[in-house]
Amino acid sequence: MHDSITGGDAFFIVVNTGWRSSVGRLKSTKDKFANRMHRQPSDFEIMYRVIATTIFACIAGSLLVVVSLVDTYPSWDDILRLLTSISVAVVQFQPGLSRDVLQAAAAGAQTDNGAVVQDGGIAIEGFAGIDVLCISASDLADRNKTTIFEPLCVACRPDDLMLVAGLSILSDKDEFSRFNRALLKALKRYPQAKANLDRYQSLAFRFIELDSTLGECLVESATGERMLCISGPSRSVWGYCVSENPENADNQDWFNDTMKDLRLRGLASWAVARKQGNDPLRFLGLIPTFDPPMANTRLAVRVARELGVAIKLLTSRDKYFGRVLSQSIGLDTDMLSGEDIYHAAKGDAELLGRIDGSNTFVEMDPEDRDDLLGMLQKAGNRVGFTGVQQNDAPLLRKADCGMSVDGSTELAQEASDVVFIRPGMVPMVRAIQGARAFFQHLEIAMVCQTVTFLQMLLTLTWCLAKFGNLLDVRLFLFGASVTNTYRFLQTSSKGSAKVQFFKKPVRWNAATILRQVLPLGVVITLGSMLLAMVILGPRLVTVSMPSQTAADSQSVKRCDSQAMSLHMLILYDLMPLLCRSEGRFWAHEQDWRILMHITCGQVVLTVACITGWMPEGFSLSMTAAVWAWVITFVTFGAAAAARYTTYGGELTEEM
């Protein structure tokens, strides 16, 4: 397969030799971007469709019940009122749930401190269910604390080596790397080198190798003396020096022994060379470096483990560096190499069994990372993956939640679900906490809306079939507007209590939702039926008269509807409190404004019914109002007991 790339006067032919090649991986990323608008639905979208289908099936069943009883009613007015009430319930369910979803998603994105969510609820849902977090060693490094140790010199003084190293980056302004910043800071320990640095000016700078940090800078002193200064990765500089001047090979044993010693200590190194005038190129020595992890990385690792997230540290460097870094952040030193991952992907059962218990993976190239990601996902894990390079882009799209940090290549950021604008691992752990808090908000909204709707639908159908009575639509619309304002405050307010989240990775599961919805729905529906029997049966709403006119009978029916509507609206207000942590709503601290809003809203609704101004002309007796309140709170207590005994989600407070 051949792709042609044209631009200007240049013409290149790129041959795609397979999906595991560099070009093949980039092409697969391009294909995934093309299909981004046709992604598979998320777990929540599937769950939402199932619940919506169930609800409309219940609506169809209720309509069939009403149609079968139509001959028992004198007119179609009651059927019209049932259809109106069902319409109110549907409108209340669909936009209400969607609104709660959007508000909870916004709250979750705000909690992701330092994160830019690019794929909306999909990314947040992915964060909530992460079992394994694969993080690159470079993402943990503190860019402002790169340590430079005493230089190791070959036939020169440390001040001379540091001077040449400083001159080699003199014009490298656009590529001001961590090493460059650390080197300029380390020059303060070598005053002679720092003083001589200002005596030279840069004439030219170039990178010797394409896509490499091996660079050379031509400088000139105030006296007209020119010097070529070279610095870069140790083995690249050494190979270049030997090829340009074979005499440098005399120090081959020293170079090998020094590099081995640095490896055992888990240190990297930067090499320096110099060419003065007509003299041959000379290798001057090595500058040992170490990129320490951020100070709070160990804490983040501990918190991630407490949240049930396994940390997998990936690095392209050797096992000695991997051991030093893993120990410094509190990970176990049991590690696997890229070669081990290759054999495990080929079917080695022993190595495959060690993947779950290993936390550090060294000498990992892009193919090995892809194999590791595939094996983790095949084992049923939801994997979060971090990457910064172009080669990481396919893996970021393949992972359940791809993450990149500020400073990553444009392709890596585009392929990511989340881009962290703050470095380190703490923002990632914060993102997991925020996603699980969002998941908790969303689960509460879904359970509340579903239970309330089913209770309303079943109670409406039963009341119409047994008593020929329905809800008061005008009162219910007024009360719903009040309770919806409360729902908005509860979801968006920071005072909606200390944010809570699950201790373990969470995913949408139909059985879990049904285990919450069914007991609550049964209990509150039975409570509503009890209120209907107490109020609609003995007619406690108004005083019965020997001979009631048609207007009196209509007044009684309208007041009955007020009592039932008041009962349902109070329950609708209290349901979010009931669905919180492990059913123990009293253990969850609420903001005083929200509690005040609940109280005031319920008082306003009760006064509106008793005084008769909503709806106008029909007043609710004090006896019926008291019965509505008493049975409502009895139902609420029974529902709380049912939830406490049937559901025990483990929650924890925010870090």
> CATH number for the domain including 206?
3.40.1110.10
**Reported confidence tier of residue 212, pLDDT bands at 50, 70, 90:** low
Both 474 and 598 in one domain: the answer is: yes
Give CA–CA dist 418/386, Å, rounded: 10
Q: Highest mean pLDDT range out of 382-386, 418-422, 455-459? A: 382-386
What is the residue range of 488's domain? 85-94+441-540+552-648
Asked whether the predicted pLDDT for residue 93 surpasses 60, the reply is no
pLDDT of residue 146: 83
In a domain, 476, yes or no: yes
- Asked whether the predicted pLDDT for residue 20 surpasses 80, the reply is no
CATH code of 477's domain? 1.20.1110.10
Distance CA 191, CA 158 (A): 11
- Tokens 């030799």 locate to 17
452/601 same-domain check: yes
Residue 237: CB atoms within 10 Å: 24
pLDDT given for residue 272 in this prediction: 94
For residue 314, which of 301, 325, 306, 298 has the smallest C-alpha distance? 325
CA distance 497 to 491: 10
Nearest to 175 by CA among 221, 137, 232: 232
Q: Which residue has the higher pLDDT, 166 or 578?
A: 166
pLDDT of residue 540 exceeding 70, the answer is no
Whether residues 611 and 478 share a domain: the answer is yes
Position with higher pLDDT, 457 vs 487 = 457
Please report whether residue 135 resides in a domain: no
Q: What is the mean pLDDT of residues 446-475?
A: 69
Tell which residue, 516, 515, 647, 505, has the closest CA to residue 43: 505
Instruction: Taking residues 620-638, report their average pLDDT.
Output: 82
Predicted local distance difference test score (pLDDT) of residue 7 = 40
pLDDT averaged over the chain? Answer: 73
Q: 466 or 387: which carries more pLDDT confidence? A: 387
Assess whether pLDDT exceeds 50 at residue 626.
Answer: yes
Asked if residue 210 has pLDDT above 60, the reply is yes
Q: Is residue 505 part of a domain?
A: yes
User: What pLDDT is stored for residue 253 in this prediction?
Assistant: 93
Say if strands 115-117 and 418-420 run parallel, antiparallel, or are unpaired: antiparallel
> Exposure of 143 by Cβ count < 10 A (0-12 exposed, 13-18 middle, 19+ buried)?
middle
Q: Is the pLDDT of residue 491 over 70?
A: no
Model confidence at 320: pLDDT above 70: yes
89 and 218 part of one domain? no
pLDDT at 311: 92
Across residues 6-12, what is the average pLDDT?
40
Note whether 412 and 388 are within 8 A (CB). Answer: yes
Are 522 and 632 part of one and the same domain? yes
Burial 525-545 (b: 16+ CB within 10 A, else e): bbbbbebbebbbeeebbbeee
Dihedral of the alpha carbons of 614, 616, 617, 618, in degrees to the nearest 10: -20
One domain, residues 490 and 610:
yes
Same-domain pairing of 286 and 221: yes
pLDDT, tens digit, for every residue of 21-75?
Answer: 444 544 454 454 444 444 556 666 676 677 667 766 776 676 666 666 555 544 5
Mean pLDDT of the region 335-339 = 90
Residue 340 has pLDDT above 70, yes or no: yes
pLDDT of the residue at 214: 81
3-state class of 36 per DSSP?
helix
Q: Percent of the chain at pLDDT above 90?
A: 12
200-216: average pLDDT: 79
> Which of the residue ranges 19-28, 281-290, 589-598 would you say has the lowest mean pLDDT?
19-28
> Last residue of some domain: 290, 308, 338?
290
In sequence order, what DSSP letters do the residues of 288-299 get, joined into one string? EEE-PBPTTHHH
**Quick one: pLDDT band at residue 171, thresholds 50, 70, 90?**
low
So what's the pLDDT on residue 87? 60
Domain count, the chain: 2
Residue 434 included in any domain: no
For position 8, what pLDDT does the model report? 42
Domain edge (last residue) among 260, 290, 320: 290
pLDDT of the residue at 110: 45
- Amino acid, single-letter form, for residue 247: E
- Dump pLDDT digits (tens) for 122-169: 566 777 788 899 998 888 877 778 889 999 998 789 999 999 988 888
Task: Examine the domain organization and report whether 89 and 193 are in the same domain.
Answer: no
- 511 and 595 inside one domain: yes
In this predicted structure, the answer to whether residue 610 has a pLDDT above a threshold of 80 is no
pLDDT of residue 259: 92
pLDDT of residue 30: 47
Query: 155 and 89, same structural domain?
Result: no
